A and B are shown apart, each in its own frame.
Chain A
Amino acid sequence: MIPRPFDYHAPRSVPEAVALLDQFGDAAKLLAGGHSLLPMMKLRFAQPDHLIDLGKVAELKGIREVGDEIRIGAMTTENELIWSELLQRRCPLIVEGARQISDPQVRYRGTLGGDISHGDPGNDHPALMIALDASFVLASAQGERVLPADGFFLGTYMTQMEPGEIMTEIRIPIPAAGTGYCYAKLKRKTGDFATAAAAVTLRMDGPTVSSVRIALTNVGDTALRATAAEQVLSGRNFDEAAVDEAAHLAMSICMPVSDLRGDADYKTAMAGEMTRRALLSAYARSAH
């Protein structure tokens, strides 16, 4: 319950935060919503000497449409995602995903950028971002770079973010009208991380799948893009046989750890089932 002592910093701008991060190096951690970091500090899993609170950096908040993208500030909270009229209309997969994350109080604080940067395979946004073909803007003293979600996640709690970098923005190509979507999540109870979950976006051309993205949550070291499952569906008629084949191909890339949510066989089977359900719902919601 009691974190180790640390120094607290509350910068007002991204450059100020970057300067603090450079000054303190590995001894510093960025504090966003604090609903992964503080729990780890309370259990002394994490013991940073400095916390750099991004809560007062106004430029890291907000959801806007820019050209054919939606741009979301990294400090935007889960409830702000859920209540965003723009996202409900233009990118409902994020809303459906965020509604399944944690609980109301946590969603007032936990942020999109924090959920992604944490790199926990149990978090939901990594798979959602892969399914949406999102990219992430990272700022440092050297400037800015933009990395795609697919490939960003390297291992448990490991991403392509370098020391000294701050995630400032998440960019999501606006899905074309008629795109089907679904986030199917199996969990033991409200607020739990997934036993297994699947995020899907799907576009149809008549009876044929014209494009599909499938990503899996909590069945590997990282969120996983199920590329082979996507390939077997692409250009093919959407029917039961195709969905079953895709679900099996999704299962073939799973490498879940066994824990209180179940053993590896169970989680793998559930990843297949979530893939099947997400595909069926996405199809039902797509224009075809």
Chain B
Amino acid sequence: MSKKIMMSFALNGNETDVVVEPRELLIHTLREKCLHTGPHIGCETSHCGACTVDFDGMSVKSCTLLTVQAEGAQVRTVEGLAEGGVLHALQEGFMQEHGLQCGFCTPGMLMRAWRLLQENPNPDEAEIRYWMAGNLCRCTGYQNIVKAVQYAARKLRGEAVETSHPLMTAETH
């Protein structure tokens, strides 16, 4: 029973083959076989979203997906966000707006926000909170995560961006 199966999927654009038992969860494959340890595990009831990756155009909780379901899929993790060493607008936004502290939820938050901004490039605060509700954070109280997503949205729309941090804004320099 439960013979191992070879699976092929694209991980951050790179063709990747893994051999897995059918019961192996995608999060474990990503972390333990592919050594992409940005996606984290924060629960076993599919609530926290720390394991969120982008999967064929969807934000998915990779703890609630079997790796055998990923045949032929396009999988993107936080490791695939920066290009040529330049941070993605979201990574910059989370840094500038202090949208992380311990950093454990951050890879999932970034990947969820990445898909959200493609679906809705100009979300208002209520929309950001509603469409990020599958991601729990223990540290930030969410306020600065909302600001970080707004910062990234502005930058991606080509608008000028500046941190909202009171000690960092232009007039206090």
Contacts and interface: CB of A to CB of B under 8 A. Distances in A.
B134 A191 contact: yes
Contacts of B45: 39
A62 interface: no
B66 A190 contact: no
Interface string B50-76: 001000001111011110110100000
What 7 A-B pairs are tightest by C-beta distance, nearest first?
A: A103-B134, A8-B22, A5-B2, A108-B58, A105-B134, A190-B133, A1-B44
Interface of A: 1-8, 10, 34-35, 38-39, 41-43, 49, 51, 53, 55, 79, 102-106, 108-109, 190-191
17 contacts: A1-B41, A2-B23, A3-B23, A5-B1, A6-B23, A10-B68, A34-B65, A35-B46, A38-B46, A41-B23, A49-B1, A53-B69, A103-B49, A104-B59, A104-B116, A105-B58, A105-B59
A78 to B, nearest CB: 11
A42 B2 contact: no
A51 B44 CA distance: 20
Interface of B: 1-3, 5, 21-23, 25, 41, 44-47, 49, 52, 58-61, 63-66, 68-69, 71, 112, 116, 130-134
B22 A51 contact: yes
Nearest to B23: A3
A4 B23 contact: yes
A3 B21 CA distance: 11
A103 B22 CA distance: 26
A79 B60 CA distance: 12
A39 B64 contact: yes
Contacts of A2: 23
B59 A6 contact: no
A103 B49 CA distance: 10
Contacts of B63: 1, 42
B6 to A, nearest CB: 13
Contacts of B65: 34, 38, 109
Contacts of B116: 104
A104 B49 CA distance: 10
Contacts of A53: 68-69
Given A6-B2, A35-B46, A105 B23 contact: no
B59 A5 contact: no
A43 B44 contact: yes
A43 to B, nearest CB: 7
A100 to B, nearest CB: 11
Q: Which interface residue of B1, B21, B46, B63 has the most chain A CB atoms within 10 A? A: B46
Nearest to B49: A105
B3 A103 contact: no
Contact of A105 (B25, B52, B69, B130): B52
Given A7-B3, A105-B59, A34 B66 contact: yes
Given A7-B22, A191-B47, A38 B59 contact: no
Contacts of B25: 1, 42
Q: Which interface residue of A105, A106, A190 has the most chain B CB atoms within 10 A? A: A105
Contact of B44 (A5, A34, A42, A102): A42
A106 B44 contact: no
A4 B66 CA distance: 13
Contacts of A6: 1-2, 22-23
A105 B2 contact: no
